[in-house]
Chains A and B, each alone.
Chain A
Amino acid sequence: MRFMIHNTSMQPIYEQLMDQIKTGIVEGTLQENDALPSVRALAKELRISALTVKKAYDALEAEGFIVTVHGKGSYIAGTDRGLVQEARRREVEELLESAIQKGKACGMTEEELREMWELMLE
């Protein structure tokens, strides 16, 4: 699996990494028990700090997406793809929710919001 980092993006690098690994799991390019590159190897490849990679791996582990065996490396955990999808769906929901709130806060009606939504989907 290839990773790509946008150095100029506002999104923190470790989040970019996490997103890409999650995407890999959802799309099936990363399967259960697939080994991830070691922290240093990935840091070297992407020319980023090893701590950044570690932070991403630690967070992924906390969320149950990967397992780290001490002294051996990190592997994709046996997560249900549906669960991952569910988690991402929730993220989208949250984002939409905050958009709606912001819209309401500046006085937009539900109708206006829906219109905007339709327009953007096109």
Chain B
Amino acid sequence: MLLEVRNVRKQYRRFDLDCSLQVQEGRIVGLIGKNGAGKSTTFKAILNLVIPDSGEIRIFGTDSRELDSELRQRIGVVLADSTFSNIMTVKQIADVMGRLYAKFDAEDFFRKCDRFQIPLRQKTKEFSTGMLARLKLLIAMSYQADLLILDEPAAGLDVLAREEIMDLLREYMMEEHRSILISSHISSDLEKLCDEIYMIDQGRIILHEETDRILSDYGILKLDEAQFSGIEKQYLLRKQKEAYGVRCLTDARQFYLENYPGVLMEKGSIDDVISMMIQGERL
């Protein structure tokens, strides 16, 4: 296990976090939730930027508070709201990186900057949001880190730029031992990228599932009252009242498709699953 977060709690005045999650070697794991759901706090706890009240975080099997320089060099980080000072140029940043990370590959870094048309001699405060986002990611990917921890790496970007960021990550994963933990409030980004997804709401993990399972086994049933009362409820996770009757979330789409051929079934998008998990009633 590359990363293990076990019952990490952090109490704030208006918010408390209670979170467990795991990242295995070779996996891309997504953390999805609304703004303010606890994504950034989770990431900051993992990176030791906030100090949890209780619980345990292990990275590469070592307590996260005791990571030495060598282990830290195996982690690449993008934080939503902070990076190198914006009065530095990319060239200067590269020089600093070279002194911090033994495996920093300047040549490759500059080549990628060139590919994304990132100017090397301009201060980063003159960069557009998109350029800055790409640069932050390229920095995190510049020293062959085994684990990327990316908090909203595509925030504020349009669809095309986001897609480009996701492609960069897919490329990075071609080395099979690498892993990524990534957060976003945009589900479609993660749906096509991640192997596993954790959904977080109000500081709690409300669902952990393989993306493939969500896409192939989860579904939304739209039933009228009569259908609902007659249907097998064992595989229904949540229900919600609607004008036409009842909307239900299932994780056994095939079962209902085969046994109740008449019912209306939709593929569960990740957004649907989240909103049902949060707003729906348990059965």
Contacts and interface: CB of A to CB of B under 8 A. Distances in A.
A12 interface: yes
Given A8-B267, A47-B192, A49-B211, A40 B176 contact: yes
A39 to B, nearest CB: 8
B216 A12 contact: yes
A50 B216 contact: no
Contacts of A10: 253, 257, 265, 267
A38 B26 CA distance: 13
Interface string A53-83: 0010000000000000000000000000000
Residue with the greatest number of chain A CB neighbours at <10 A, chosen from B26, B195, B265: B195
A44 interface: yes
Given A13-B212, A14-B216, A40 B195 contact: no
Interface string A27-45: 0000000000010110110
Contacts of A40: 170, 173-174, 176
Interface string B186-216: 0000001111100000000000001110011
Given A12-B215, A12-B216, A51 B210 contact: yes
B28 interface: yes
Contacts of A84: none
Nearest to A16: B216
Given A13-B216, A40-B176, A47 B170 contact: yes
B215 A50 contact: no
B170 A44 contact: yes
Looking at chain B's contact residues, the main secondary structure is: mixed
Interface string B166-185: 11001101101000000000
Contacts of A50: 26-28, 173, 195
A48 interface: yes
Which bucket holds chain B's interface residue count? Answer: 20 to 34
Nearest to B190: A49
B197 to A, nearest CB: 9
A48 B192 contact: yes
B223 to A, nearest CB: 17
Interface residues of A, number: 19
Nearest to A71: B176
A47 B166 CA distance: 9
Interface string B156-174: 0000000000110011011
Interface in B254-274: 257, 261, 265, 267
Contacts of B166: 47
A68 to B, nearest CB: 13
A52 interface: yes
B105 interface: no
Contacts of A102: 261
Given A49-B195, A51-B195, A43 B212 contact: no
Contacts of A51: 27, 195-196, 210-212
Given A8-B267, A49-B210, A51-B210, A44 B171 contact: yes
29 contacts: A10-B253, A10-B257, A10-B265, A12-B215, A12-B216, A13-B215, A13-B216, A15-B216, A38-B174, A40-B170, A40-B173, A40-B176, A44-B167, A47-B166, A47-B192, A48-B192, A48-B212, A49-B28, A49-B192, A49-B193, A49-B211, A49-B212, A50-B28, A51-B27, A51-B196, A51-B211, A52-B211, A52-B212, A102-B261
Given A10-B253, A50-B26, 5 more contacts: A12-B217, A38-B174, A44-B171, A48-B192, A49-B211
Interface of A: 8, 10, 12-15, 38, 40-41, 43-44, 47-52, 55, 102
